[in-house]
Structure 1
Amino acid sequence: MINNSVIGNDYAFSRVPLTARSSLLTVTLIRIGVTTALAQFMLGATLGHSMTFSQAMLATFFGSLIVEFVGLGLGIAGAREGLSTSLLARWCGFGRFGSVLIGLAIAISTLCWFGVQNSILAKGLNYASDGRLGFGWASAISGISLTVLVIFGFRALGWTAKLAVPLFFLVIGWIMVILLQGHNVADLVTSIPTGVPMTLGAGATAVAGGVIVSTLITPDISRYCQNGRHVFWMVTTSIVIGEFIVNGIAILIAHALDTDDVVSIMTKTAGWIGLLSVILSAVKINDVNLYSVSLALTNVMEGMTGKKWSYIGFTLAAGIIGTVLSIIGILDKFTDFLILLGVVFPPIAGVMLVDYYILRTNRQLLDTTRTKQILPDEGSTPLIGWPAMISWVLGGFIGFTIEWGIPSLNSLFVASVVYLLTVRLVQSTRHNKKRV
């Protein structure tokens, strides 16, 4: 009999038992694979082409603070409960139908990410074939191949990460040496960018937006962590490597070559080595993207219908949709997409963190069922958390409309405070009614 964690539903409708947890090395490599993709290079190049080196690294620092705070908080909750993000949201303020909307938001955004990354991979494959494949066929081949891989679940992510991550860094190191030859690093650090200027707030929001979806879905990976300490090292290591090292290299390359089109330069300047980096990057992040899409969609349908649908079926459907998105040109909207994500998703995390760690509205229920390795039944699960939904919308609205500061942080802070005060007010009103 094939184990549930190898192929099948991959604990999509249940807690991951302690016996199925993975090593620190495995989960960290998977997480690093998410944060060291060529999309991160593209982001770093965009910052470098629009900001000085010090401004770009400061934007990286502020954006990374948001990512560390959110990723660590949600990651520890996911490891403790053994639940994916879309399941955890049910008992972190949003309720059963509220978590359906969260799952849909995660599914749509990660599908778009799949399309972006598949476009990068397709460009590389088409370049390798001297244009004979064509972008459309290259997208179809890469998308279908990754879809088949993800059907095997979390264990397949570990296989690809252990192979792709070390090779990716060897390739990136070699490319950095090639592209920065003949340049004085000190001059690059102090050089003035020639691109359209970007504010610190917009830069930090783009940094946060670049990984906010993978940060929000940290529980999808951390539910396989053995304890909170493993979550800390997984999140922190991936941020240091993915944000500061990869971003820093990309910023320097953008200054050296005076462009933000790093992907084309890597494939054309570094030849087959550059092409290999493109392929490895897309493979190791897109398997995680598609994995989280499938988890989110299975929980969306289970929340709406009460039936447990096939994880494999959703993986196939999501892979096809993501491939189509890459073919129709989603890569062209990359920067706008990042800023949108950087405002819409932090409020969700803010609500979940406040509910789980401060209000603890369902912690006793989760603690009781966790000892039995089951989920709370439908009767004890809230239908929809209106305070959470209102806080999410209001936080996103503030992030879009208020230009002062960092929009990602603004939306996170507003949603957290509004949710805390709203729930406290509702609790106080109910208490006073009981007294009367």
Structure 2
Amino acid sequence: MAEGIDEFALRRVPRNKRLPFIGVALVHAGMLTALDQFMLGAALGHGMSILDAYTAIFIASVICGVLTYGMGVAGMNEGMSCSLLARWCGFGRIGSALIGIVIAVSLMGWFGIQTAIFGKSLDFALGGHLGFNAAAAIAGIALTILVAIGFRALRFIAKFAIPLFIAAICYISFLTLSGHDISGLILIKPSGEAISISTAITIIIGSYTLAALTTPDITRYLSNKKQVLGVSLITIIVGEFIVNGLAITLARVIGSSDVVTIMSTAAGGIGLLIVIFSTLRVNDLNLYSSSLGLANAIECLFGIRLNYIATTLAIGAVGTTLSILGILDQFIGFLELMGILFPPIVGIMLVEYYFVRTYKNALDSSRTTEALPDHQNTPSIVWPGIIGCAFGGFIGFFIEVGVPAINSLVAASLFYYLVTILARRFRPMVKQAA
């Protein structure tokens, strides 16, 4: 997919450029079959009972599955990336640029977290002689250069990395859990700082919602709804239930939520190699979608088309700096923030695309020629979408009743729907009165 980043960042993916299901499914599943999900599961296992943790996973997975499928079908239908599709899904050109920037900044944060894990593993493997800051800097520079120059090779590696990662996690779990009483592990009280089910749902959605939002970046290469459904189910089942579930149990056995400690304790040097390899694999996706978001934003705001390699190097530099500054220590807070900020964007895009459908005719007519809707049918900015996101975020942050992620999603979606429908009904009356 990387070879098309410049070609398809700002236009539809033609039907004759769509890719086979399995390759696209593996790339999308790679978003959730990584150490960030393993870290999340470890945090849940360290701060919750297993029953509560799985309850939170189930509820969050249902919500995320619906959002992923809805976004995925939209991306497949239109052949557009998320940040491009947002122009006609509730935000307009300038609004989509703001979304592109938010996506890019968030993925820089993810890059920083992954790089920090890589650096911590490297420093641990060297006995602490290198120091975390130096190890994180080396890891960030190496990852950025490798992704910028060798993206095609990384895509090839990803085809094998996901099955190998899952197999390795399962094998490590088997070795670690052998001889332990599983029923006893279930009854043991968590040893870490307590996490409520409400908070857990929010941080799970926070870990997933960016993948849901950027799903069109991947599914625009698919050909039908069944393929989108398959991609969504595979990612949910493998990422949430298998990777998270095993991490919850391992965290209980080892008594830690630190992924480097868990992996090194369970499998020694092999565990550290899995950590390093996983961070290498997932950061190509972080840089890919971040580059798409920035490309759309800069083109919308300034009319400039960015060079992929230069953009990747810049994003990698910022992400590496974040890792050195200690973003890994704010992992749960980072997920809570994402779980409040991103659901409103997804909700508004889905409400516009499937229910309000302001630009349906423009999208339908341009789709037949595989072009974009013309300038006349492309709004500059859609204020109900912008204000709706702010309103949803406010509700998520300050309303303490319920689940913050769900509150922000529902509030923003309802706000956008009601304001848009009311404006549509009153507009003819205003014109007639004038």
Over residues 245-280 of structure 1, what are the superposed CA-to-partner deviations in whole Å (9 max), with x where a residue is unaligned?
111111111222222223222124411220122022
Alignment correspondent of 2:172: 175
Matched letter for residue 389 of structure 1: I
Secondary structure of residue in 2 paired with 1:6? helix
Secondary structure of residue in 2 paired with 1:14? coil
Residue 107 of structure 1 pairs with residue 104 of structure 2: yes
Secondary structure of residue in 2 paired with 1:331? helix
Match runs of 1:64-143 below 5 Å: 64-143=61-140
Alignment correspondent of 1:53: 50
The separation in 2 between residues aligned to 1:153 and 1:411, in whole angstroms, is 39
Matched letter for residue 14 of structure 2: P
Shift of 1:10: 4.5
The separation in 2 between residues aligned to 1:207 and 1:280, in whole angstroms, is 23
Over residues 119-154 of structure 1, what are the superposed CA-to-partner deviations in whole Å (9 max), with x where a residue is unaligned?
111222223333344333432333233323433698
The separation in 1 between residues aligned to 2:104 and 2:5, in whole angstroms, is 19
Match runs of 1:269-418 below 5 Å: 269-418=266-415
Contact 2:24 2:218 in 1 (8 A): yes
Aligned counterpart for 1:255 among listed residues 252, 263, 272: 252
Matched letter for residue 258 of structure 1: G
RMSD over aligned CA atoms reads 1.8
Secondary structure of residue in 1 paired with 2:274? helix
The separation in 2 between residues aligned to 1:11 and 1:145, in whole angstroms, is 27
Matched letter for residue 303 of structure 1: C
Contact 1:42 1:263 in 2 (8 A): no
With over 3 angstroms needed to count, the CA separation of the structure-2 counterparts of 1:10 and 1:148, relative to structure 1, is: farther
Shift of 1:156: 5.0
The separation in 2 between residues aligned to 1:412 and 1:353, in whole angstroms, is 11
Over residues 174-220 of structure 1, what are the superposed CA-to-partner deviations in whole Å (9 max), with x where a residue is unaligned?
21122223211121123221222221111111111112112111111
Over residues 348-379 of structure 1, what are the superposed CA-to-partner deviations in whole Å (9 max), with x where a residue is unaligned?
00000000000111121111111111112333
Shift of 1:47: 1.1
Matched letter for residue 137 of structure 2: A
With over 3 angstroms needed to count, the CA separation of the structure-2 counterparts of 1:128 and 1:195, relative to structure 1, is: closer
Shift of 1:79: 1.0
Alignment correspondent of 1:14: 11
Matched letter for residue 225 of structure 1: L
Matched letter for residue 139 of structure 1: A
Contact 1:14 1:374 in 2 (8 A): yes
Matched letter for residue 213 of structure 1: L
The separation in 2 between residues aligned to 1:97 and 1:434, in whole angstroms, is 27
Secondary structure of residue in 2 paired with 1:345? helix
With over 3 angstroms needed to count, the CA separation of the structure-2 counterparts of 1:89 and 1:233, relative to structure 1, is: same
The separation in 2 between residues aligned to 1:227 and 1:263, in whole angstroms, is 40
Alignment correspondent of 2:35: 38
Contact 1:6 1:153 in 2 (8 A): no
Matched letter for residue 28 of structure 2: R
Matched letter for residue 368 of structure 1: S
Matched letter for residue 282 of structure 1: T
* Structure 1: 4+ residue segments shifted above 6 A: none
Contact 2:251 2:262 in 1 (8 A): no
Secondary structure of residue in 2 paired with 1:9? helix
Over residues 275-321 of structure 1, what are the superposed CA-to-partner deviations in whole Å (9 max), with x where a residue is unaligned?
12202221221110111111111111001012322222211111111
Alignment correspondent of 2:20: 23
Q: What TM-score results when the alignment is normalised by the length of structure 1?
A: 0.95
Matched letter for residue 38 of structure 1: L
Aligned length: 433
Contact 1:8 1:151 in 2 (8 A): no
Secondary structure of residue in 1 paired with 2:3? coil
Match runs of 1:158-307 below 5 Å: 158-307=155-304
Over residues 221-250 of structure 1, what are the superposed CA-to-partner deviations in whole Å (9 max), with x where a residue is unaligned?
111112221111111111111001111111
Residue 420 of structure 1 pairs with residue 420 of structure 2: no
Secondary structure of residue in 2 paired with 1:270? helix
The separation in 2 between residues aligned to 1:177 and 1:145, in whole angstroms, is 33
Shift of 1:62: 1.2
The separation in 1 between residues aligned to 2:148 and 2:5, in whole angstroms, is 8
Q: What TM-score results when the alignment is normalised by the length of structure 2?
A: 0.95
